[in-house]
Amino acid sequence: MTAEIEPGAQPAPSALPSAAPVTREIRAWEIDHSVRHQTIFAVLDELHPGEAVRLRVDHEPKPLFYMVQAERAGRFAWEPEQQGPDEWVIRISRLDGDGCC
């Protein structure tokens, strides 16, 4: 069972799939705002189980976190690596399975 990770929460290290290799880094400020979330979701959907992406943003990414939870429930782990004040860095790992049931 995978722990649900809330932004800012400090889960036990064993609950995190940090061993997942980071296959890509996204600097959100380099993506046009009108397609930013769409682009990030496309990258997430390309990840294979056990892979991760590092997301760098210049603001707290709560809306994206809630979108990932709602639209891709159970598929990804959200691991804050840095939380402001100028940059938030989040490791998003693809979990095994399709998140169903």
DSSP string, 49-67: TT-EEEEEESS--HHHHHH
Q: How far apart are CA 44 and CA 92, in angstroms?
A: 8
Q: Is 10 domain-assigned?
A: no
pLDDT (0 to 100) of residue 21: 86
Helix (H) or strand (E) holding 38: helix 36-46
CATH of the domain at 34: 3.30.110.40
Tell me, what DSSP letter sits at residue 48?
Answer: P
The boundaries of the domain holding residue 28 are 20-94
pLDDT (0 to 100) of residue 77: 95
Q: Is 13 domain-assigned?
A: no
pLDDT (0 to 100) of residue 4: 43
Q: Is 90 domain-assigned?
A: yes
pLDDT (0 to 100) of residue 61: 96
Residues of the chain with pLDDT under 70: 1-19, 97-101
Q: How many domains does the chain have?
A: 1
Q: Is 2 domain-assigned?
A: no
